[in-house]
Structure 1
Amino acid sequence: MSQQYEMIFILRPDFSEEQVNQAVTTYKEFLTENNATNLEVKIWGKRRLAYPIQKKVDGIYVQFNYQADGTQIAPLERMMRLGEEVMRYLTIRLDTVSSETAEEEPEVAEPEAVASEA
């Protein structure tokens, strides 16, 4: 069964644009070879980190959105962990919203009329 996943990883800030594109292409090709579909890549660029990682205060953020069966995640994260270009990574599974639940509006309780005693 195919699920929707989102992966964000942070590359070292001293990478050139060519090195960033090469790293992104490597991970993108790995996902496509392992049956990931609807792959979207967003390169956010260099951003300030919330806290220093490996004595670096900036990083190049990249986001992947894709559909897959989940068997690609562990090998991809292992590639990132063993490589020197990725400082941090995180993969999450997104909730799928069916068309039925998206159309339903949440029920709102109507205020009850209060009978006053005179």
Structure 2
Amino acid sequence: MRSYELLYIVKPTLDEEAREAILNSIKEILTSSNGEVGEVNVWGSRKLAYPIQKFNDGVYTLVNFKAEVDVPKELDRRIKINEDIIRHIIVAQDQK
């Protein structure tokens, strides 16, 4: 298994319940694929460098996880379907 980081930004108009539901769905995708969810950091609302979908702010969340190499591709596909996530990036961590 490799280590990855997922950083995603959700719309600032979402309430706490909706943001928690998105995080839980991401955790479900990872655990159902035999992945391990590590540290989760909710950075909160921050100003975007440029407007995205007419939003100037977004709520940032960073998720560290371990998974097989095919899992990030599936996670990426499922995140793209979710209209409440306005940006995301999945990065493989260096192996030491």
TM interval, short-chain normalised: over 0.9
Give the structure, 1 or 2, with the largest relative contact order (CA under 8 Å, sep 6 or more).
2
Normalising to structure 2: TM-score of the pair?
Answer: 0.94
Residue 93 of structure 1 is matched in structure 2 by 92
Whole-angstrom distance in 2 between the partners of 1:51 and 1:88? 12
* 2:29 partner SS: helix
Give the C-alpha shift of residue 39 in structure 1: 2.4
Paired residue type of 2:93: L
Aligned-pair identity in percent equals 34
* Moved >3 Å (runs of 4+): none
Q: RMSD value over aligned CA atoms?
A: 1.0
Matched-pair contact (CA < 8 Å) for 2:37–2:64 = yes
- Asked whether 1:53 is paired with 2:52, we answer yes
User: Which structure has the larger Rg over C-alpha atoms?
Assistant: 1
Give the C-alpha shift of residue 62 in structure 1: 0.8
The number of aligned residues is 96
Where do 5+ consecutive residues of structure 1 fail to align? Answer: 98-118
Whole-angstrom distance in 2 between the partners of 1:38 and 1:28? 7
- Asked whether 1:27 is paired with 2:26, we answer yes
Normalising to structure 1: TM-score of the pair?
Answer: 0.77
